[in-house]
Chain A
């Protein structure tokens, strides 16, 4: 166990977890901001994909 089994440990765990969660989810948000760039690679047509699978 890295975190001590005490109230102090619970507080430390909470602070680190909350801040890292915000950081990580912000990272996912940043990745999602870049998603529109994918559209520069081309366009996938839904109907064409469906037809090609039959």
Chain B
């Protein structure tokens, strides 16, 4: 009788998650809690880290049905994997973004490419560590500091690495305020950080309406592999700038964007299960992602300094702007502004930094598109 009762209790226990709990789950739960802590206490990108952190915690509680096929978190992940979520994120971002700074200051657009050297440092590093060329490309694109684009390119090149790549990309984007300032300060002098930018010319409504149409054509013509993302970015922006679709642009920029952020963050967090995540490969990818971010920031700043060699006195640019070319809109622009403002509180660099920052989105898309084309992936 007692044996039977104990047998029943053991069978019941086996059906719960308790018997499947291992130290890896504790590590991952601690990581999830740390993300929530950083979001609440340090205010590091709470919109991203709360959802990722919470889903990370839940996905490491054995027995949670949410992450299994048919569970809501799993459906969220499927939305990312099927490339439904990334274009919708871009759609919302487009509706929220004023491309005026980029149109007004085309000289700074090149920083959007210069700040992407990190992609290639990570790519070569990944190849040296033994990843395949497609996997190395997927890891390298983390350095583009553009979450949806990293997800998009990773799914096309090496979908099995999506959890690690997505987590690295979004986590580092959230941690930009910690990662970038030391690099910017190490590569610039105080005098350089004090450089004030000239006021930009006003951008007309006609230019703002023409911009998404022209870019939409250019991107679909030259970079079809990544065109879905940029096209949706431009559609969202056209809704905003044409002034006759206020309802649609407000929906895209607010309600839809909020829903998609929830889906995106829990989808990414739900992939952070200890069994698949706590591997040497993950550590290598996370390390390469950090190198990519550091390299990208450094190359952007150095790129701005190289530009200054050719610019006349009075036209020189604040090299902090180079770091904003890494994309991660608008976090990197904010970091560039904060670093410059630390030297001179009245130096308002944010608007100028948005130019290279937005160009960085195109830089990542172009790099990703060329990479996919060279690797023969459609």
Contact = CB atoms under 8 A, between A and B. Distances in A.
Interface string A36-50: 101101111110011
B218 to A, nearest CB: 7
Given A1-B375, A44-B206, A21 B243 contact: no
B123 A25 contact: no
Interface string A10-54: 110111111011101110111111011011011111100110110
Contacts of B210: 35, 38
A38 B204 contact: yes
A28 B242 CA distance: 21
A3 B244 contact: no
A26 B112 CA distance: 10
A32 B103 contact: yes
Contacts of B136: 10
A10 B124 contact: yes
A18 B204 contact: no
A32 B124 contact: no
B109 interface: yes
Given A2-B375, A3-B133, A35-B210, A22 B113 contact: yes
B76 interface: no
A16 B370 contact: yes
Contacts of B127: 6-7, 9-10
A11 B119 CA distance: 12
A26 B363 CA distance: 10
B76 to A, nearest CB: 32
A7 B211 CA distance: 39
B261 interface: no
Contacts of A49: 205, 242-244
Given A16-B370, A28-B218, A33-B106, A1 B363 contact: no
A38 B206 contact: yes
A29 B107 CA distance: 7
A28 B99 CA distance: 13
Contacts of B209: 44
B324 interface: no
B209 to A, nearest CB: 7
A51 to B, nearest CB: 10
Given A10-B123, A35-B211, A46-B243, A25 B112 contact: yes
Contact of A18 (B110, B120, B243): B120
A25 B359 contact: yes
B222 interface: yes
B376 interface: yes
A3 B374 contact: yes
Q: Which of A7, A24, A41 is the most central at the interface, judged by chain B CB atoms within 10 Å of its CB?
A: A24
A25 B206 contact: no
24 contacts: A1-B375, A6-B127, A7-B128, A10-B123, A10-B124, A13-B371, A18-B120, A20-B370, A21-B363, A21-B370, A22-B114, A24-B113, A25-B109, A25-B112, A25-B363, A26-B109, A26-B113, A36-B201, A38-B204, A38-B210, A43-B205, A45-B205, A50-B244, A52-B244
